[in-house]
Structure 1
Amino acid sequence: MKLGFLTACLPQLPLADIAAWASENDYQALEVAVWPKVGGRDFEASHIDVAHFDDAQADDVRALFDKHGLALSSLAYYENNLHPDVERREEIAAHLLHAVDAAARLGVETVGTFIGRHPGLSVKENAELAERTFPRLVDYAGERGVKIIIENCVMEGWHPDGYPGNIAYSPELWEWMFSLGLYLNYDPSHLLWIGIDPVTALKPYVDRIPHAQAKDTQLDPAARDRYGFFGKTLSREHPWDEGWWRYRVPGLGQVDWNGVVDALYEGGFTGVLSVEHEDPVWGGTEEKVKQGLRIAHRTLSPLIVG
């Protein structure tokens, strides 16, 4: 197992600078953000322009990672593949396939995304839509030696009432998506706040997890008693303002990292555990983000056998 981080937390820095910093701070891998150069969400990052990526650029990226002794663990394009606007859905699929092509050129085994959700349909109806949407994407990737991995993020901000916007949030749904040829990019932080024990949920599925993410969650039960499980309603200031929990870097929340890493090892996981930094305390400036990554490294590195 290696310890890495997702580059999306440093969207303004070029990949060369991120790779140098990661190596200097004893990280072993990077999960590289590959959103389009022009995107919709304010935190999107494009550290490889996969839509215009050729063999010469692939050589440059490999040389950069070799120079710093890093592994490139996965390409990251987490978007709504069941977007309600059909034209937008096709744009997302096209970019995902660009990411697959880039991964194949680089010899990277996985591309991460979301299943997503059409918010006007039930979960069952969305599953039927996914069963029509994903086979061609999975086949395309498989023909190029690439696995599509799905993060189990709830993406509640994609739903108008804070309900799940990505139908991959529970083991029941993982088993369904595995039947489509998809894999899991396991992240324990999302399980904790929806009432699923991250270690118990992880153990049966390690063989379907080629890549994992490390993010923590801090819970506030007193606030939950006011707002309820689904979070703020009338007083919600923005789509992600749940009010009773927040993401933290590993070590500053309530995820059992000893249990998570031990379960990964016991299940035979040999991939990269990639820190996904979305901590509001250690965010907002480049230096604070980097300090958050240092905290995560101090928490996780003692658990990972070199």
Structure 2
Amino acid sequence: MKIGFVSDSLGTLSFDDMLDQAVALGVSGVEVNTGGWSHAPHIDLPLLRGSAAARQSFMQAFESRGLEIISLNVNGNPLHPVDCKQSEDLHETIRLAGDLGITKICTMSGLPEGREGDLLPNWVVSSWPPEGQVAKEWQLKERLIPYWEKVLEMAPQCGVTQFALEMHGGQWAYNVPNLLRLREVLGPMIGANLDPSHMFWMGGDPIAAIDALGDAICHVHAKDAGFNEARHGVTTSLENGPLGLPSDRAWSFLTLGYGHDTLWWRQFCYRLRMVGYDGWLSIEHEDLLLDPIEGLEKSVALLREVMPVRIGGFTQLEI
């Protein structure tokens, strides 16, 4: 396994300063945000799409520091019923990946409207009332499958072979069953970006998710979450208060080790290895109470302590 981080974790730094900080942290690579919900402070998507010289300079900035580009990240809602920019960002990111020789895109499944003519996405999370399930099936058949079939037809022409979909609240594939259903319909180019923080706040078990997903896991975001029990007891996990006020929320995103201890993260990494995952642990710092550099330093130190580095094995003696 290798350690990196999502570039928006240091979104206030310039591109060069962000990469210099990656070197100082001792990580192996950076996952670059290109659009969607991100302002993409470290990349000029139109410039790179239009200029071979700009692309060469961009790649050289990584290579000269001994860093890898982990993937391009365009997290957002490409199936928003009226905001077309998020879908456009995904398509342009795929094209840029082709220009740069990058094969994996981190994004999300998207969440469409609940019926024709609606202007807002509709996140169905309950089996009652029954019209919710009708909407969920309509979303899959009328929006997700047709959209992703076109994306998967386009992507190989750009050299993109993998889409790591983050199981994120407010997306159609927010949990393991929905992600696997989408993968079953669309094929193995659709994989899971497993971010345990989202499973924590939604009440899931990331380690159980590893076993259920198996080789569908193609990316991992290393991010923690923790609960304010007094608030959680009265609001439940379905918290919709401002993210910027952690003291007033039922749950918040935290630096690694602040929500779940080193033993938990050791077990998480070991279970990933058990199902064959030996890829990136890409830290996504969204802890509002810790300075981003401090949060990354602590997260890198924790992962160095817990992650398997070498593939072990044993020789079975003949009897």
Q: Does 1:73 align with 2:81?
A: no
How is 1:96-175 mapped onto 2 (pairs within 5 angstroms)? 96-117=90-111, 118=113, 119-120=121-122, 122-128=135-141, 129-146=143-160, 147-154=162-169, 165-175=170-180
1:252 and 1:239, CA in 2 relative to 1: closer, same or farther beyond 3 A? closer
Residue type of the partner of 1:72? I
Tell me: CA distance 1:206–1:60, structure 2 relative to 1, closer, same or farther (3 Å).
farther
Post-superposition offset of 1:230: 1.6
Task: Write the deviation string for residues 143-194 of structure 1: whole angstroms up to 9, x where unpaired.
Answer: 322122211121xxxxxxxxxx212221111112213242211101111121
2: CA distance between counterparts of 1:224 and 1:247? 14
Q: 1:207–1:268: 8 Å Cα contact kept in structure 2?
A: yes
Please list every run of 5 or more consecutive structure 1 residues that lacks an aligned counterpart in the other structure: 155-164, 283-287
Asked if 2 retains the 8 angstrom alpha-carbon contact of 1:141 and 1:148, the reply is: no
- Is 1:180 matched with 2:195? no
User: Is the 2:72–2:106 contact (alpha carbons within 8 Å) kept by the matching residues of 1?
Assistant: yes
Aligned amino acid, residue 280 of structure 1: L
Using structure 2 for the length normalisation, give the TM-score: 0.81
Name the aligned partner's letter for residue 124 of structure 1: E
> What is the number of residues matched between the two proteins?
280
Q: Say which is worse superposed, 67-76 or 255-264, in terms of deviation.
A: 255-264
Instruction: Output the amino acid matched with 2:75.
Output: Y
Q: Is 1:95 aligned to residue 101 of structure 2?
A: no
- Structure 2 match to 1:22: 22
- Aligned partner (choices 234, 251, 254) of residue 248 of structure 1: 254
Q: Distance in 1 between matches of 2:103 and 2:227?
A: 34
Identity of aligned residues (%): 26
Q: What amino acid is aligned across from residue 77 of structure 1 in structure 2?
A: V
Q: Letter of the 1:251 partner, please give it.
A: G
1:46 and 2:51 aligned: no
CA shift at 1:25, angstroms?
1.4
2-side partners of 1:111 and 1:226: how far apart?
A: 38
Q: Point out the more displaced range, 219-228 or 2-11.
A: 219-228
Gaps of 5+ in 2: 114-120, 124-134, 311-319
For residue 160 of structure 1, what is the aligned residue in structure 2? none
User: Distance in 2 between the 1:240 and 1:13 partners?
Assistant: 23
1:45 deviates by 2.5
- Indicate conservation of the 8 Å contact 1:115/1:166, yes or no: yes
Q: 1:215 aligns with which of 214, 220, 223?
A: 223
